[in-house]
Structure 1
């Protein structure tokens, strides 16, 4: 099991470590990218790692290509039709009907019916060749550029290694424009709803090719967070993700916030807040030394953070302070989402469950 799979699918807890074996039929290898997800009555109780809203609908993704959707605020779930059985990690719907999901084996899925059915738009067998073709074209016009030479070599390695690099998050600004990020500085952008993808590895301040764990907005600003305290913000003038200095060198797993305020969170309860577009960051004391793995925002503007063990912390003062919610049934959590009724839905090793908010 790779380090990436350990960090994301286990939600930073050894209790979540469940290896995945590619299916074998009649003694022959069958690639998960060519194997539709199996239907299961227990899917809603299996390990789920991503969760979002598609309008009033909830959509969750998890192991073995399972995608579930609920139209009654998470009380009942139906399983979607999915063309792969790769482990899925993240999902996002910019509008109620159009959504994207990403995961292991470099897979990118798209739904145009609010998550009921999905088609594959990209997988790891295509990622390396797309990168190689793109950076070879760039190098042809700038043959002395050392960075482009390195990108061509990196893309060649991707081709040779095959479909083993995961995408770990996805975010779309609209039905057309979106980003996917993943292991070893993998980052792509689409401007046509996923029909074509452009690599942006040369447009990040990430010379060490650190893993990228999340891409999310805070107000009008778009951030990426990753390993070793990495925080990058999109500079729209140069169309580059520029690194911002943070007082922490451990992994960060998520971003949340609103106009004028951003929060990044990660290992050992480390949460940092910025009110100046990421120039300066202040540590927020939680009093809880557990990794923060999920976040959500209520309709009245409260910010929720969830620990790897399932603790729910609530802020009613724009992220300046957080209070621990008392009525929490602890279980490992990888994703969280406030439903249309105001309750919190959690995704993790025990599947999907509702939690009333105080």
Structure 2
């Protein structure tokens, strides 16, 4: 099992063991990058790990390349057409029609029709070569970066992208395992590696990326928080009081929150210079977040707890739920509900 499939499952609190022999793998392996996602109505009940809004539409991504969309706030879902069957992790739409999804095997997908059909823009078979060519062209090539690029080529398409963020329909980023970060300024037609522009000497995994107000943040392993310096165009380290993994970042223009393992959430109101812990009263990891149209911040735990803040993240109130279930992503809707994605499919929960 791919090491980074375990990352996705671990975040959901799911333990999986798959016995196999080399003979079985050799006989049955089908490259997910060469196999379109299977169309199946039952797939809507499978594992989903990413959610986004495309205007009034909701779009969910998950295992085996499955992408579903809903035009009624998550009551009914239709399946999109996807050219790969790689597990997908995250999705984002900077406009109602244009969206990007990322996942395992270094795959980056694009849709220009609100998630109904998708095309591949990048995958792990190209990542290493793009890195190698880019860093070979530098005035003073960095031997370590060249070695990393060659390793990517030699090891093949096994490194995932774990999040995506676009400022608009042209400029965006994808981030992932081992310091992977690429930028595009032409809507994904070409990609530029930025591994030389991150304060991440340990090549820690990047788990989340979001813009909060005018600041663009990346969070990851071992308390890693980076913020884009607009002048140098470098992602610089931002110290926080916690050394455990952060899974995501959220907030409002006046406050940024980073969240992760064991219910740890930290809040800053000065662009990341200082942080205070937000007490949730939970030991369960926080794995998802969303912000409502009126600015309320919603956090969702690994176990499925839903917590709501109406004061820019100073305090949170837990919303009682009849049934808890593992959660990997959340998206507020316009109908007074939040859709939660996880190992049990897609659930619509009221939060009013």
Alignment-derived partner of residue 268 in structure 1: 262
**Match of residue 103 from structure 2:** 103
1:93 is matched with which residue? 93
Q: Figure out how many residues of one structure are paired with residues of the other and give that number.
A: 349
CA contact (8 A) 2:224 2:243 kept: yes
Gaps of 5+ in 1: none
Corresponding residue for 1:330?
324
Once residues 239 and 231 of structure 1 are traced to their aligned partners in structure 2, the CA distance between those partners, rounded to angstroms, is 16
> TM-score by structure 1 length?
0.94
How many angstroms apart in 2 are the aligned matches of 1:25 and 1:313?
A: 43
Q: Indicate conservation of the 8 Å contact 2:108/2:122, yes or no.
A: yes
In structure 1, the residue matched to 2:310 is 316
TM-score using structure 2 length? 0.96
Report the alpha carbon displacement of residue 2 of structure 1 after superposing the two structures with TM: 4.3
SS of equivalent residue, structure 2 residue 262:
helix
Distance 1:343 1:222 in 2: 27
Matches within 5 A, 1:155-174: 155-174=149-168
Residues 290 and 26 from structure 1, CA distance in 2 versus in 1: closer, same or farther, beyond 3 angstroms? closer
Mapped pair 1:204 → 2:198: yes
Decide whether aligned partners of structure 1 residues 279 and 127 sit closer, same or farther in structure 2, where only a CA change above 3 A counts. same
8 Å contact 2:254–2:312 — kept in the other structure? no
Residues in 2 aligned to 1:18 and 1:303: alpha-carbon distance in whole angstroms: 36
The match for 1:35 is 35
Q: Report the CA distance shift for 1:187/1:26 in structure 2 as closer, same or farther (over 3 A).
A: closer
CA displacement 1:276-313 (0-9 Å, x = unmatched) = 11111111111001100000111221100000000001
For residue 290 of structure 1, the aligned residue among 284, 293, 311 is 284
Name 2:234's counterpart in structure 1: 240
- Aligned match of 2:243: 249
CA offset digits 1:97-118 (Å, max 9, x no partner): 0000000000000000000000
Contact 2:12 2:343 in 1 (8 A): no
CA displacement, residues 297-352 of structure 1 (integer Å, 9 cap, x when unaligned) = 11221100000000001111110111111135200000000112121100001100
Give distance in 2, aligned partners of 1:156 and 1:20: 32
Structure 2 match to 1:120: 120
Equivalent pair of 1:109/1:118 in contact (CA under 8 Å): yes
Find the aligned partners of 1:106 and 1:205 in 2 and give their Cα distance: 22
User: Are residues 1:341 and 2:339 paired?
Assistant: no
Deviations 1:195-218 (A, max 9, x none): 000000000000000000011111
CA contact (8 A) 2:52 2:92 kept: yes
The secondary structure found in structure 1 opposite 2:321 is coil
1:184 is aligned to 178
User: Is contact 2:184–2:190 with CA below 8 Å preserved after alignment?
Assistant: yes
Taking structure 1 as reference, are residues 257 and 19 closer, same or farther at Cα in structure 2, changes over 3 Å only?
farther
CA contact (8 A) 1:311 1:328 kept: no
CA positional deviation for 1:20: 12
- C-alpha separation between the residues in 1 aligned to 2:97 and 2:85? 23
CA spacing shift, 1:291–1:62, aligned 2, 3 Å: same
Q: Is the contact made by 2:4 and 2:159 (CA closer than 8 Å) also made in structure 1? A: no
Q: Gaps (5+ residues) in structure 2?
A: none
Q: How much does 1:6 deviate?
A: 2.0
Distance 1:70 1:357 in 2: 19
Write the distance in 2 (CA, Å) between the matches of 1:266 and 1:28.
37
Name the CA distance, whole Å, in 1 between partners of 2:276 and 2:204. 23
